[in-house]
Amino acid sequence: MNRKATALDVAKLAGVSRSAVSLVLNGRGDGNVAKESQVRIREAAATLNYTPNAIALSLRNRRSRIIGIVSDQVVTSPFDGNIIAGADAVARSQGFVTVVMDTELDETRDESAVATLLDRQVDGLMYVTVGLRPLHVPLNMLRVPSVLANCFDDRPEAGVPAVIPDEVRGGREAATHLLELGHRDIAFLAGDGVTPAAPRRIQGHREAFEAAGLPVRPGRILEAGWDIDAGFHGAMKLLDGVAAPDRPTAIVCANDRLAVGVVLAANRLGLAVPQDVSVMGYDDEFRIASTMVPALTTMALPLREMGAAAMTGLLRELSEEPEDYDDGGAPAEHGRPGQTLVPCRLVVRESTGPVPS
Amino acid sequence: MNRKATALDVAKLAGVSRSAVSLVLNGRGDGNVAKESQVRIREAAATLNYTPNAIALSLRNRRSRIIGIVSDQVVTSPFDGNIIAGADAVARSQGFVTVVMDTELDETRDESAVATLLDRQVDGLMYVTVGLRPLHVPLNMLRVPSVLANCFDDRPEAGVPAVIPDEVRGGREAATHLLELGHRDIAFLAGDGVTPAAPRRIQGHREAFEAAGLPVRPGRILEAGWDIDAGFHGAMKLLDGVAAPDRPTAIVCANDRLAVGVVLAANRLGLAVPQDVSVMGYDDEFRIASTMVPALTTMALPLREMGAAAMTGLLRELSEEPEDYDDGGAPAEHGRPGQTLVPCRLVVRESTGPVPS
DNA sequence: TTGAAAGCGGTACCAC
DNA sequence: GTGGTACCGCTTTCAA
């Protein structure tokens, strides 16, 4: 295979000039180029298999139709991946391409990742994190329209719009689901205090109890961690050697892997899920929640939606800002100004049931 | 923030010509540009925060320092992600950037993904799949140096080098581990027959038994699927209501999620892992295998290594092919010509132990 | 030692 | 209706 055909090749084959080729292939042929020339040009383009060189286009137009994505850890997590997938789908549908740079949780690589992307003339920038967290946006990011997904800058003046899950509401609706099943003694296995996700989910949990006029029993909110073993040990603490009346009848976990650990522990103790104890996850982790035995009731994180929403907003900003940029802050849909809250989605499966009588 | 500085800006500030700037900043100043001009140029570049426009560079040099990666499903899987992470790290270390296009398992998007990438003037192409599988490389891929990771083209003439895990050996070493612990009746919970990974692992399994002069009991190889519930039901079939002498003493699973299902089933049946039955996973899936209770002994897929190996080979080919391409097939390290086999790595944790007496 | 100029592949303006 | 040409930002050759 030899090198790709250029507009000049097409022009020669069709016996016209480069400009004619450009006009016709961009739909502005009518009224500028003779009908029969147009036909010859299209034929020539087809036989040569011509597509314009995106690099040359970028240089000329000063816009690359590339969106740069900085991720703190794409790779090993289905989380970031889904956000990026949602964003990428939207971008692709509008003729944009995304390029992802992964800092692998090394914050010192933030600025250089952004700089590399900027050198590539990206039209816009998106910063994605695995877990919900606050950050200081890399300064360079302000040079082009930008958006944050699953993270936020808590300095009010930062001025980069953020798209994050509505964790408080998620926690509230999770607890409500259980409350409606008749549970009154519900334990919460939280991740850690450092990521804002767990505290927000707990806040929602408390709000649900409050709204129902019920108390949260002391000692029922356990900071556990995020992994299977943490769930296992947390559940053992809650269930092992505890008489039925003193046992929580339901355990809601800050993620699905914790819930796996809880079920593992229940099985080992001879407790049936959900007959003896209901278990809820959070995240709806792919290939885990739905295939677990029993399949996990969980609060699905709207990852793809967040990615899509973030990208949609970004591209809108791009098209509104034809040449020079305006300072108008994006209108917030909910939450703090500049923050869009995307609701989580309750997925009821088999790990929760009515309170044991 | 206004727009980025160009070489011309630097030249003006330093009071020299653009060419001088180019020479100096590319290390070819000595012998061409006066020492003091050099200093002024560097200072000017620094104060203007100048970095060259990668787009213009690409157009000029006809090489973009971009490697295009086509993935059949990055997103939701830690698998692809890790391969890409390994590849990306190598690429970045050599000043390349990767851009990933995800076909989301839609094969009709193959060619268009490659075409898009080619329009962007990628210097090389890599095709990555979530699971090991054969494929027909998109024709366009042959236009630039390319490599396959975790997949292969079974048409001998395709001529695209592939980097894949040594699954046969992985299956063999997994069985050997168990055999050495004294197990003689070992069951294998396979995925499905359609992906080549499972059959190869099974082949290795059989080879290990053969080498030990032992038979594989009939009915001990079960095609189960790939998920937690499949592992659960497979294990129930093997263990539930079966007297100890007729029970396998070890179960090796085609992946870690199956192993989770097996442990879940064992717990429910009151069987202890590994005291009553040893369980092995495969893949060493992040956040699952090591945090499982008990932590899973598993055969780690060399994902990052595969990505790194593939990218290393690709970049080598790029640098050996300064202008026009040569047809020399890449030398195979093992396996079929053009295929590099990367060994898996046995990770011994707590889910396997000596055969019960 | 320096600067002018060509060209990478397009697009768009402007004479003809 | 058409083709010539300037320009996007950079590298590289060549003449001064």
DSSP type of residue B128 = E
Q: Nearest Cα to B71, choosing from B101, B41, B49? A: B101
Is it the case that residue B22 has pLDDT exceeding 70? yes
Is it the case that residue B248 has pLDDT exceeding 60? yes
Is it the case that residue B163 has pLDDT exceeding 70? yes
Nearest CA in chain A to B109: A92
- Side by side, the strands of the sheet bearing B186-190 are B221-223, B186-190, B250-253, B278-283, B297-300, B345-347
| Cβ-based contacts under 8 A for chains A and B | 148
Q: What pLDDT is stored for residue A159 in this prediction? A: 86
Q: What pLDDT is stored for residue B325 in this prediction? A: 39
Ranges of residues in chain A whose predicted pLDDT is under 50: 1, 323-332
Strand C contact with A46 (CB < 7 A): no
Using the structure, give the distance in angstroms from the CA atom of A61 to the C1' atom of C13, rounded to a whole number.
15
Question: Considering only B38-47, B153-162, B282-291, which range has the smallest mean pLDDT?
Answer: B153-162
Q: How far is CA B161 from CA A41, A293, B118, B204, in A?
A: 38, 41, 19, 24
What percent of chain A is predicted at pLDDT more than 70?
93
Structure tokens at B60: 């000029």
Phi, then psi, of A238 in degrees rounded to 5? -75, -30
8 Å CB contact of B293 and A58:
no
Those residues with Cβ within 8 angstroms of residue B111's Cβ, 6 or more apart along the chain or in another chain: B138, B139, B140
Using the C1' atom of nucleotide D12, identify the protein residue whose alpha carbon is closest: B19
Burial class (CB in 10 A: 0-12, 13-18, 19+), B35: exposed
Is it the case that residue B319 has pLDDT exceeding 50? yes
Q: What pLDDT is stored for residue B305 in this prediction? A: 96
Structure tokens at A325: 């940029």
DSSP type of residue B277 = -
C-alpha A5: how far from chain center = 39
Amino acid at B309: A
Using the structure, give the distance in angstroms from the CA atom of A89 to the C1' atom of D10, rounded to a whole number.
33
pLDDT in tens, B77-94: 667 788 999 999 999 999
Mean of pLDDT values over B333-338: 67
Q: What pLDDT is stored for residue B328 in this prediction? A: 40
Q: What pLDDT is stored for residue A47 in this prediction? A: 92
Number of Cβ within a 10 Å radius of residue A328: 9
pLDDT in tens, B189-204: 999 988 899 999 999 9
pLDDT in tens, A57-106: 999 999 999 999 999 886 556 677 889 999 999 999 999 999 988 888 88
Longest dimension (CA), chain A: 91
Q: Are B27 and B33 in contact (CB under 8 A)?
A: no
Rounded (10°) angle between helices A18-25 and A7-14: 100
Using the structure, give the distance in angstroms from the CA atom of B129 to the C1' atom of C8, rounded to a whole number.
35
Structure tokens at A305: 């939606």
Work out the minimum CA distance from A268 to partner chain B, whole angstroms.
Answer: 5
Amino acid at B296: L
Q: What pLDDT is stored for residue A341 in this prediction? A: 97
Structure tokens at A269: 């103790």
Q: Are B297 and B348 in contact (CB under 8 A)?
A: yes
Q: Are A70 and A103 in contact (CB under 8 A)?
A: yes
DSSP string, A116-167: HHHHTT-SEEEEEEEEEEE-PPPGGGGGS-EEEEEEE--SGGG---EEEE-H
pLDDT in tens, A163-172: 999 999 999 9
Mean of pLDDT values over B309-315: 97
Is it the case that residue B326 has pLDDT exceeding 50? no
* Of residues A52, A119, A264, nearest to B51 (C-beta): A119
Checking each nucleotide's C1' against the CA of B30, the nearest proves to be C1
8 Å CB contact of B74 and A85:
yes
| pLDDT band (50, 70, 90) for residue B228 | very high
- Side by side, the strands of the sheet bearing A278-283 are A221-223, A186-190, A250-253, A278-283, A297-300, A345-347
Helices (H), chain B: 7-14, 18-25, 35-48, 54-61, 78-93, 110-119, 167-180, 197-211, 228-239, 256-269, 303-320
pLDDT in tens, B236-246: 999 999 999 99
